[in-house]
Structure 1
Amino acid sequence: MSLAKEIRQIIEAYDQATAQGKRTALATVVHVDGSSYRRPGARMLITEDGELTGAISGGCLEGDALRKSLLVIMQDYPMLVTYDTSDEDDALLGVGLGCNGIIRVLIEPVSGSVSPNPVEFLKKLEKDRYPAVLVTLFSLEDHRSRMQGTCLFLKEKESAGELDGRLLQESLLQESITVLENRHSVFRKYRAEQEEIVAFIQYIEPEINLVIAGAGNDIFPVVEMAGILGWKVTLIDGRPNYANKQRFSSCTIVIGEPEKALNMIETDNRTAVLLMTHNYNYDKVMMRQLLQKDIPYIGMLGPEKKRERLLDELREEGMEINAAPANVFSPVGLDIGAETSEEIALSAISEIKAVFAGKPGKYLRDNKGSIHKTNDTELTDKININA
């Protein structure tokens, strides 16, 4: 499941809980030292009657987080909780988990009387497909500090949130602008009101927008897997008896000839396109248009000979095409020995995920270092201000 899907589920659960008059809290993984199942930015909503939406671990921390969240809800006070899974003497959270990391989780009450509250910030993420930055403060000195919480939101043309300290507000806003430009989350330490506070400045990208040309039966597992991950899926096909809501209820459907169909949908730098029509001429027309757009991933079914023939014909028709466009992936998918439609779907979906994550798609056991970048969690001593 993608972060975007998790956020949508949290928003839906919050709206339902609010309509029923239930109080809630939001638990956020704000920092990790070492290894853990979830990384900073993972979230979970907790209601006063114990309902959980989202996850902060593989299931090992949720029970304790639930108990502490009920206390946060009752006292209306944020709390930073630290779980040390590297402590071999800890029978509950130590060697039994095998994570070997220190996980810091901020639990904050979500009040409808406070605006914007943490979930309202999450709602701002969902209303369009612009990248965003979300700032969450936590204290390593005082785990019950009132300064803790989700406090600032930034998009290209929108910002929200206000802090008591003007200098802290200005500094966090400037750091958020830098994070938005660099597309990379950071941590920053501040000295504010005689207290050291840490800012988790999280860069959040929109979900992957998967466009599939084709609506045959082999599309079903692709749509199902993409749906599990929370990707937005659009189908393009010229056959209304194949591309319809009865067959693909969860997809946006565009019926039309290839020359016009692409102009009916929006694409961006989080868009992947799969050509799965089994129609050479349809794929060729689509490829001609796709190569003129800034699309990171274009996958096409078929062997290498089909790809080379198609690109050669487009060159002969006047298109300037490099020998092997870096954004064209054909044959499509990672090499996992896929044969059935389900296996091919898994191969293609995995390749798309790897491309957007900037990963080579190799065995994790061959990694010599950490799976995740170590500088993702560095607590940088950069800014000390009196706010």
Structure 2
Amino acid sequence: MKELKDIVAAFDKAQQQGQQTALATVVLVEGSAYRRPGARMLITENGQLTGAISGGCLEGDALRKAQQVMYKQKAMLVTYDTTDEDDAKLGVGLGCNGIIHILIEPILTADPQHPLQLLKEWLHQRQTAVLTTLFSLEDKKGAQPGTALLLTETGITRNAFLDNADWPDNALVEDAREALRTRLHRTREYTFTATFTAFIEVLEPAPRLLIFGAGNDAIPLTAMATVLGWDTTVIDGRPAYATAQRFPKAGRVLVSKPDQALQQLDIDERTAAVLMTHNYNYDLAMLRQLLPLQLAYIGSLGPKKKLERMLDELREAGEIILPEQLEKVYGPTGLDIGAEGSEEIALSVLSEIKAVLAGLKGTSLRDKNAPIHSPITAPVTSSAV
């Protein structure tokens, strides 16, 4: 997510400077690779790189090819085979043994739905969306349609290729809708006059982190969350603490009493909250309001006895706390990494939130009897359209 934000910002800057740009996207990986499909890198005509498509070994060659793409104004599909001895040197720094297909597209701003515009549209809406990238493995020197379709809950945006081509794209749209429903990427082949492969990618909004408490220990938590590209808001009832000067990295800083805080906040299924005001009554009031909401995570800083006491008080006051509501409450907040001090505690808390959002336990990769990245891609299928 942060990478895509950075790419969009770099594109806007290049536009202001009148520079041409190209977008490189990992669209297919066979075997192992440092980056998975969906990794992107923006290249400007003066050689500025934003994002990454590998561990650093492919970027130089991709830069040279991107300059050709910008000159010819034609997309190019590039394949790097790190299983081949002739190409093996490319994979030395990657530590991988696979075939990596990268699509490099010129950003033609005359097309109102060019790839960066589709990414901007998605970022602006803050919705889960599906982005479909079309390419031809069969004819690498032929047409490479590129970033072709953006599907959200509220609509579909097509690029110039799909708008102009006589392509009945019902199957493509239906597959995109299925990806949106299942939250699974998929790769699919379509045969229509020629065979095209589609990387159908699910894009999730950045996590939204609500930090209730503006004490000194909230400062590193806010800063680290910002480094991750999370949408971060700090809320506290003390005007002297909740200031932009103390939290320059926060997206928003609000001074609010507990009963007025939620009126000023947008909450969705990608929202996490951490209660760390060091004010028992403030945390209790916020926990009462947060429990019924569809948050992904509610963390309570401090000992488990504090959380148990708050839950008991809520029950005694007549609140009904359902098991599914308790499942999203984590207290003490954070993973058990032996954290000491506010910076390490912030690392512990953010690691747990990331694991929860990913549906994982946060265990050591050493103990995982499977590839590092769990499969999130549906099986490859083909269809005539």
Q: Cα deviations across residues 125-184 of structure 1 (Å, max 9, x unaligned)?
A: 111211111110011112233143001111111221151455542221121112112122
Q: Which moved more, 1:341-350 or 1:29-38?
A: 29-38
Q: Does the CA-based 8 Å contact 1:272-1:297 persist in structure 2?
A: yes
Residue in structure 2 matched with residue 288 of structure 1 by the alignment: 288
Residue in structure 1 matched with residue 131 of structure 2 by the alignment: 134
Residue in structure 2 matched with residue 379 of structure 1 by the alignment: 380
Residue in structure 2 matched with residue 256 of structure 1 by the alignment: 256
Residue in structure 2 matched with residue 106 of structure 1 by the alignment: 103
Q: Does the CA-based 8 Å contact 1:29-1:43 persist in structure 2?
A: yes
Alignment of 1:59 onto 2:56: yes
Residue in structure 2 matched with residue 326 of structure 1 by the alignment: 327
Give the 3 Å change call, closer, same or farther, for CA 11–264 of structure 1 in structure 2: same
Q: Does the residue aligned with 1:93 lie in a helix, a strand or coil?
A: helix
Q: Does the residue aligned with 2:78 lie in a helix, a strand or coil?
A: strand
Matched letter for residue 42 of structure 1: A
Residue in structure 1 matched with residue 31 of structure 2 by the alignment: 34
Shift of 1:283: 0.7
Residue in structure 1 matched with residue 233 of structure 2 by the alignment: 234
Residue in structure 2 matched with residue 222 of structure 1 by the alignment: 221
Q: Does the CA-based 8 Å contact 2:81-2:88 persist in structure 1?
A: no
Q: Cα deviations across residues 264-320 of structure 1 (Å, max 9, x unaligned)?
A: 111000000000111111111000000011111000111111111111111011111
Q: Which moved more, 1:323-332 or 1:282-291?
A: 323-332
Whole-angstrom distance in 2 between the partners of 1:312 and 1:96? 55
Q: Does the residue aligned with 1:379 lie in a helix, a strand or coil?
A: strand
Whole-angstrom distance in 2 between the partners of 1:128 and 1:97? 35
Give the 3 Å change call, closer, same or farther, for CA 66–349 of structure 1 in structure 2: same
Q: Which moved more, 1:272-281 or 1:162-171?
A: 162-171
Q: Does the CA-based 8 Å contact 1:86-1:95 persist in structure 2?
A: no
Q: Does the CA-based 8 Å contact 1:33-1:377 persist in structure 2?
A: no
Residue in structure 2 matched with residue 350 of structure 1 by the alignment: 351
Q: Does the CA-based 8 Å contact 2:33-2:94 persist in structure 1?
A: no
In structure 1, runs of 5+ residues without a counterpart are none
Shift of 1:94: 3.7
Residue in structure 2 matched with residue 247 of structure 1 by the alignment: 246
Matches within 5 A, 1:1-387: 3=1, 5-88=2-85, 90-162=87-159, 163=162, 164-165=164-165, 167-193=167-193, 195-251=194-250, 252-322=252-322, 325-374=326-375, 376=377, 378-381=379-382, 383-385=383-385
In structure 2, runs of 5+ residues without a counterpart are none
Q: Does the CA-based 8 Å contact 1:208-1:270 persist in structure 2?
A: yes
Whole-angstrom distance in 1 between the partners of 2:184 and 2:375? 13
Q: Cα deviations across residues 170-205 of structure 1 (Å, max 9, x unaligned)?
A: 221121112112122111111121x21111111101
Matched letter for residue 248 of structure 1: F
Superposed CA RMSD in Å reads: 1.6
Q: Cα deviations across residues 62-95 of structure 1 (Å, max 9, x unaligned)?
A: 1111011111111111111111223356442244
Whole-angstrom distance in 1 between the partners of 2:188 and 2:12? 32
Q: Does the residue aligned with 1:70 lie in a helix, a strand or coil?
A: helix
TM-score of the aligned structures, taking structure 2 as reference length = 0.95
Q: Does the CA-based 8 Å contact 2:129-2:180 persist in structure 1?
A: yes
Q: Does the residue aligned with 1:92 lie in a helix, a strand or coil?
A: helix
Q: Does the residue aligned with 2:381 lie in a helix, a strand or coil?
A: coil
Q: Does the CA-based 8 Å contact 1:32-1:377 persist in structure 2?
A: no
Q: Cα deviations across residues 330-382 of structure 1 (Å, max 9, x unaligned)?
A: 0111110001111100000000000001111001111111122346274323x
Q: Does the residue aligned with 2:349 lie in a helix, a strand or coil?
A: helix
Q: Which moved more, 1:220-229 or 1:367-376?
A: 367-376
Q: Cα deviations across residues 25-78 of structure 1 (Å, max 9, x unaligned)?
A: 100011112222221111111111111111111211111110111111111111
Shift of 1:115: 2.4
Q: Does the residue aligned with 2:384 lie in a helix, a strand or coil?
A: coil
Matched letter for residue 118 of structure 1: P
Give the 3 Å change call, closer, same or farther, for CA 182–374 of structure 1 in structure 2: closer
Whole-angstrom distance in 2 between the partners of 1:296 and 1:212? 14
Matched letter for residue 123 of structure 1: K
Give the 3 Å change call, closer, same or farther, for CA 166–91 of structure 1 in structure 2: closer
Whole-angstrom distance in 2 between the partners of 1:115 and 1:201? 21
Q: Does the CA-based 8 Å contact 2:185-2:376 persist in structure 1?
A: no
Shift of 1:113: 1.5
Q: Does the residue aligned with 2:353 lie in a helix, a strand or coil?
A: helix
| Alignment size in residue pairs | 380
Shift of 1:254: 1.5
Whole-angstrom distance in 2 between the partners of 1:89 and 1:114? 38
Q: Does the residue aligned with 1:59 lie in a helix, a strand or coil?
A: coil
Give the 3 Å change call, closer, same or farther, for CA 374–286 of structure 1 in structure 2: closer
